[in-house]
């Protein structure tokens, strides 16, 4: 039976470390959380981030715009936040409502305040392996592996999903740690043949039950990044058939309580890093 990789417990440790460091920093780090429209899931994520800020001693400030506020108003707000010395990190909750261009919005964020590490400058830095602001979810996965003494060096890591926010940067971070990395996506034929080769399997797709026990090599380490809502049970779950895969793998992250809390903890770390650089 696989050992559970407890992201929730690790996130509590990381947030406590952030809090202690902030106590000796001499300034209060400020995180601007921008939300546009009234998407229910985005509201939950923003509220969680604000709660994390309170836990860590960060001043989390919410900026809410209506869904019809328009791209120009949003860009104006970001420019105002870029100029504010008390704001060290800026996060725009994605996805944005229809009519907004996410890429232009990201591009408007000052790279030194880009605590999601989404701007071209920060993406380039990640590509080069020369970065301080890490992409939150992939960095959260790396922190979980490190905490449990799992070294990706020399291992075959298979990342399922190639999004700009999870799959691609995940592959880069693993590569920087000397893993041999394969990236799979919706056009990958024979997915199970590839996943069965993985020493470390990271799934970031968003499809319930995608990864079943027969797709996992015995004793593999399985990291489930996805967050899905099971419409039958109403519960959150990942891509991985948890009970089935647990019987085959050596380690597995649960959903909830795995990568999600660590993503949030890395955001707090990034805000501290951005504030420290001022």
Binding site for ligand NDP (CB under 6 A): 137, 160-163, 165-167, 184-188, 191, 204-207, 225-228, 259-260, 263
Burial 135-155 (b: 16+ CB within 10 A, else e): bbbbbbbbbbbebeebebeeb
**Cβ 10 vs Cβ 143: under 8 Å:** yes
Structure tokens at 242: 């948890």
Catalytic, out of 15, 52, 93, 224: 93
Catalytic, out of 49, 113, 168, 217: 49
Strands 228-229 and 236-237, by their bridges, are antiparallel
Nearer Cβ to ligand NDP, position 77 or 141? 141
Nearer Cβ to ligand NDP, position 29 or 254? 254
Residue 153 Cβ vs ligand NDP, minimum distance, rounded to whole Å: 24
Residue 264 Cβ vs ligand NDP, minimum distance, rounded to whole Å: 7
Strand partners for 59: 30
- Output the CA torsion 12→257→7→167 (10° steps): -130
Strands (E), the chain: 3-4, 30-36, 59-65, 89-92, 156-160, 180-184, 200-203, 221-224, 228-229, 236-237, 251-252
Residue 167 Cβ vs ligand NDP, minimum distance, rounded to whole Å: 5
- In the annotation, is 93 catalytic? yes
**Cβ 211 vs Cβ 241: under 8 Å:** yes
Residue 227 Cβ vs ligand NDP, minimum distance, rounded to whole Å: 4
- In the annotation, is 49 catalytic? yes
Distances (CA, A) of 68 to 64, 98, 106, 198, 253: 12, 9, 18, 45, 39
Residue 7 Cβ vs ligand NDP, minimum distance, rounded to whole Å: 9
Residue 94 Cβ vs ligand NDP, minimum distance, rounded to whole Å: 8
Burial 216-232 (b: 16+ CB within 10 A, else e): bbeebbbbbbbbbeeee
Catalytic, out of 6, 52, 114, 116: 116
What sign for the dihedral angle of Cα 262, 267, 270, 275?
Answer: negative
**Cβ 85 vs Cβ 274: under 8 Å:** no
Residues known to be catalytic: 49, 93, 116
């Amino acid at each position: 039976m696989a050992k559970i990789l407890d992201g929730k417990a690790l996130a509590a440790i990381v947030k406590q470390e952030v809090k202690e460091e902030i106590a000796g920093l001499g300034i209060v780090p400020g995180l601007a959380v921008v939300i546009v429209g009234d998407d229910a899931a985005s509201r939950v994520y923003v509220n969680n981030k604000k709660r994390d800020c309170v836990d860590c001693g960060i001043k989390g400030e919410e900026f809410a715009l209506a869904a019809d506020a328009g791209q120009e108003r949003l860009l104006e707000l970001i420019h105002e936040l870029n100029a504010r010395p008390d704001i060290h990190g800026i996060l725009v909750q994605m996805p944005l409502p229809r009519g907004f261009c996410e890429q232009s919005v990201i591009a408007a964020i000052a790279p030194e305040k880009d605590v999601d590490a989404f701007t071209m400058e920060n993406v380039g830095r990640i590509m080069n392996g020369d970065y301080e602001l890490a992409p939150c979810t992939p960095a959260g996965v790396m922190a979980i592996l490190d905490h449990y003494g799992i070294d990706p060096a020399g291992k075959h890591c298979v990342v399922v999903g190639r999004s700009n926010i999870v799959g691609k940067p995940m592959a880069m971070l693993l590569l920087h740690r000397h893993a041999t990395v394969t990236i799979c996506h919706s056009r990958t034929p024979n997915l199970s043949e590839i996943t069965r080769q993985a020493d470390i399997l990271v799934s970031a797709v968003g499809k319930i039950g995608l990864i079943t026990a027969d797709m996992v090599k015995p004793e593999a380490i399985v990291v489930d990044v996805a967050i899905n809502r099971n419409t039958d049970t109403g519960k959150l779950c990942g891509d991985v058939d948890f009970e089935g895969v647990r019987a085959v793998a050596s380690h597995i992250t649960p959903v909830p309580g795995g990568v999600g809390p660590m993503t949030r903890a890395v955001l707090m770390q990034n805000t501290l890093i951005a504030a420290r650089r001022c």
